[in-house]
Amino acid sequence: MEALKIYRCTISEDLDSPMEVQAVALVDEPAIAKNFLAFKTQNPQVRNMLFAVDVEKQIISGPAMLAGTPIYRKDAELGEYLVTFDKPTIFAIVQKFFYKGFNQHFNIMHDPAQRTKGVCIFESFITDASRGVQPMKGFEDAPDGSWFISARVNNADIWAKIKQGAIKGFSVEGVFKLIPVAPAAAKPHQQPVRTGMQERSGADGRVEDRKFTAEETFELIKEILNETIL
């Protein structure tokens, strides 16, 4: 099976350019489109993007973007492919997002007809181990450079959907430039080399046929991304 192409998403730091994250959607299956991408569903690690809920204060908290995490996409123009955001891009996205005052730009399920009122990001940070900035509790395995947000929900209808479990996470949307990522360079055979359907020992060429789970495949993709763009 042919490997999926991988693209790195970037934005423009020009404040007049529409190439940016423009809103955050409240969705049922978050993922963290012709250059316009709404990152919802299709991700084997959806559970990592679910947010935590403070019922008493009506606050929702969690990751908006996970650095270096591949997101599966499928559209008429490019077919099946993967996209990812590296740490510098996420940093640029967050800076522009707040500079332009987008912290109240929310909608439901990436539907522009369902723009929301009464939801506002009041807390935001990018994880950075070098500065001692760690992920939120419950999301300790988030990659370094990930973007976390907390939002106060002062909207009875939306809060009811959150409590019912109809809304479970954040999902960013915006306009991006897609840059192809070159395949990882071959390394000396020091450990088994995994392929889509087989595991091949680099030492003696021995092949053991077996299928890999979705999570194993996902972790392999992350390893490739770490070798090429991070």
Q: Which domain, by its residues, includes 197?
A: 193-228
DSSP 108-139: ETTEEEEE-SSEEEEEEEE-BGGGTBPPPTT-
Co-location of 80 and 173 in the same domain? yes
Q: What is the rounded average pLDDT of the residues 100-107?
A: 97
* Domains identified in the chain, total number: 2
In a domain, 187, yes or no: no
Co-location of 131 and 214 in the same domain? no
Co-location of 44 and 156 in the same domain? yes
The rounded distance, in Å, linking the Cα atoms of 48 and 185 is: 29
Q: Which residues pair with 126 in a beta bridge?
A: 147
pLDDT bin (cut points 50, 70, 90) of residue 122 is: very high
Co-location of 106 and 172 in the same domain? yes
The rounded distance, in Å, linking the Cα atoms of 8 and 186 is: 20
Q: Which residues, 6 or more positions from 49, have their beta carbon under 8 angstroms from its beta carbon? A: 30, 31, 32, 43, 62, 63, 66, 169, 170, 171
The two three-digit tokens of residue 137, written as one number = 């509790």
Co-location of 75 and 164 in the same domain? yes
Residue 167 has pLDDT above 70, yes or no: yes
- Which is nearest to 36 in space by CA: 47, 45, 25, 26? 25
In a domain, 186, yes or no: no
Question: Which uninterrupted H or E stretch holds 72?
Answer: strand 71-75
| 56-88 pLDDT, tens digit each | 899 999 999 999 999 888 889 889 999 999 999
Co-location of 91 and 13 in the same domain? yes
Residue 187 has pLDDT above 80, yes or no: no
Co-location of 220 and 106 in the same domain? no
- pLDDT of the residue at 220: 54
What pTM was estimated for this model as a whole?
0.75
Q: Which residues, 6 or more positions from 2, have their beta carbon under 8 angstroms from its beta carbon? A: none
In a domain, 185, yes or no: no
